[in-house]
Amino acid sequence: MSSIVVISGGLGSPSSTRVLGNDIVARLRDALALKDDTLDETVVELRELAHPITDAMLTGFPTGDLAHVIQTIAAADALVVVSPTFSASISGLVKSFFDILEPGTLNGKPVLLAATGGSERHSLMIDFAMRPLLSYLGALPMRTGVYAATSDFGGAGAAALAARVAQAADELAEAVAGGVKRPVDDGFVEFATLLAR
């Protein structure tokens, strides 16, 4: 059994960010089943932890439910991180959550990057904001990221979105079930560090 934590940064209820996360989990479950593996997923809605995240930033340590979530993430086999796009980047809530993690928490952990936004124009946000951040933290982002614009939900782009979800989920399933452990690209980490300054 593979344990996956889905970190959803959506602020609404319901949110397109959570819908995308659910789609990814459904495809991931199917992909793991083909490898004779099962999925144990935990979904973390960051909006429910907004106050504890702020408290942890101020005090320097997480408590209660937030501390439990971080322990669950540290023990998970992989992550799916889904953020809404704000000002051409990840949401402040998602960034704040990753800011409070202890160094090493995500080392070597495969992660599927996904984002939602109102327009296709921001689709590069995954590669310019999410990928450098998660790489800097020691995670191993999958090659394929999934960006979903508003028009991709139930519109003409639905089929293309489903194909992106399938490809990314298959990559994560291979990394988890296959036990793939890629070394962190130190050059990319250095580049990500420069971008973060």
Q: Indicate the average pLDDT of the chain.
A: 89
Cβ neighbour number for residue 21 with a 10 Å cutoff? 27
Phi, psi dihedrals of residue 5, rounded to the nearest 5°:
-110, 125
Over the stretch 119-178, which tens digit does the pLDDT of each residue have?
887 888 999 999 999 999 999 999 999 999 988 887 777 899 999 999 999 999 999 987
Residue 179: pLDDT band (50, 70, 90) is low
**What CATH number does the domain containing 71 carry?**
3.40.50.360
| CB contact set of 179 (below 8 Å; sequence gap of 6+) | none
Domain count, the chain: 1
| CB contact set of 103 (below 8 Å; sequence gap of 6+) | 138
CB neighbour class for 196 (10 Å; exposed up to 12, middle 13-18, buried from 19)? exposed
- Amino acid identity at 121: R
Q: Which of 4-18, 45-59, 87-101 has the lowest mean pLDDT?
A: 4-18
Cβ neighbour number for residue 162 with a 10 Å cutoff? 13
Residue 183: pLDDT band (50, 70, 90) is very low
- Model confidence pTM above 0.85: yes
**Cα–Cα distances in angstroms (integers) from residue 14 to residues 47, 62, 76, 190, in the given order:** 12, 26, 25, 38
pLDDT confidence of residue 33 = 93
Higher pLDDT, 94 or 190: 94
Local structure of 2: helix, strand or coil: strand
pLDDT confidence of residue 132 = 96
Quick check: 82 and 46 in contact, CB under 8 A?
no
- Is pLDDT above 60 for 197? no
Q: Any bridge partners for residue 78, and if so which?
A: 4
Q: Which domain holds residue 108?
A: 2-196
| CB contact set of 94 (below 8 Å; sequence gap of 6+) | 7, 9, 46, 81, 83
Q: What mean pLDDT do residues 105-119 have?
A: 94
pLDDT confidence of residue 119 = 80
